[in-house]
A and B are shown apart, each in its own frame.
Chain A
């Protein structure tokens, strides 16, 4: 795949795996209204994935559409960041993941909306409104749980602690990112770190939570080195198209 196709693929895989993972809550959330909230967010993410994967397939020019890319790639071909494939755990752990990821996505899409490439810019401009709501929703829950009862606070701390080692990977600029940036299409993710830190710290302060202790970062998602969790996500997500190739309804 060429650089820009890979670039679109990464954006699509982030949203796809985030949405698939979050969708696991459907029917299991603590309250009916929360069930709908999480499902709405997951559907927004799947929608973003559809656009970015379709764009990746178009740039690649090998006849692969969004479905082909989503359902007929193996785990090592997925380029999502490790954060989005992490287990849901309890509600607080899920909120921790959505909180860290949606603030990152909001900054990414806001920057990408000014891309020289009209396709990337259009998808980002639509998605930035969606993820702004995700970030508000997740931040709200971080404050409620962090500044809530002793138990909710302990769970929020544990959730953030679990997810924190996957944060640094979000802002890494490798050769694909650098080339996409040089082409005027991609964005400088490393430059977003300061703004992200400020947003996260402001919410944590509201929630009376300390920033988790720095950990040795785990990297590798962008080049297909995933945790054991992604394989399980794919086995469920891809089952139908693997068992009945081309099935439609």
Chain B
């Protein structure tokens, strides 16, 4: 498997921990196609009852932001505290918000 072109493509795996939560990125698997990717994701990431639902998508389908643009993209938000909804009281018993 040293020849990279013979490797199965990479898939990103997302697991929904339980009903009501969103799918969370947990890692990646190699697989020949989507069906195999779901099987591999199941066997790799949900062996200890971590999930109730799985998503896989080709890693190549992800477009990432350029780290070089980080300053322009993210720093302008730093001094806009009024955008944080921190002035609301969260009722007791709400654990995921």
A: residues with CB less than 8 A from B are 31-34, 36-37, 40, 137, 140, 144
Contacts and interface: CB of A to CB of B under 8 A. Distances in A.
Contact of B32 (A32, A137, A144): A144
Interface in B28-63: 29-32, 35-36, 39-40, 43-44, 47
Contacts of A144: 32, 36
B30 A31 contact: yes
Contacts of B36: 140, 144
Contacts of B43: 33, 36-37, 40
B29 A33 contact: yes
A44 B29 CA distance: 22
Contacts of B1: 31
A36 B32 contact: no
Contacts of B35: 140
Interface in B7-44: 8, 29-32, 35-36, 39-40, 43-44
Nearest to A39: B43
9 contacts: A31-B1, A33-B30, A34-B40, A37-B40, A40-B43, A140-B35, A140-B36, A144-B32, A144-B36
Nearest to B37: A33
A7 to B, nearest CB: 31
Nearest to A33: B40
Nearest to B45: A36
Given A33-B31, A37-B40, A140-B39, 19 more contacts: A31-B1, A31-B30, A32-B30, A33-B29, A33-B30, A33-B40, A33-B43, A36-B40, A36-B43, A36-B44, A36-B47, A37-B43, A40-B43, A40-B47, A137-B39, A140-B35, A140-B36, A144-B32, A144-B36
A37 B38 CA distance: 12
B61 to A, nearest CB: 19
A52 B29 CA distance: 34
Contacts of A37: 39-40, 43
A137 B38 CA distance: 11
A144 to B, nearest CB: 7
A33 to B, nearest CB: 4
B14 to A, nearest CB: 16
Q: Pick the 5 closest A-B CB pairs, nearest first.
A: A33-B40, A37-B43, A36-B43, A40-B43, A33-B29
A37 B41 CA distance: 10
Contacts of A137: 39
B92 to A, nearest CB: 37
A32 B29 CA distance: 9
A34 B44 CA distance: 9
Nearest to B40: A33
Nearest to B47: A40
Contacts of B29: 33
Contacts of A31: 1, 8, 30
Nearest to B33: A144
Interface-centre pick from A31, A32, A33, A144 (highest chain B CB count, 10 A): A33
A133 to B, nearest CB: 8
Nearest to A43: B47
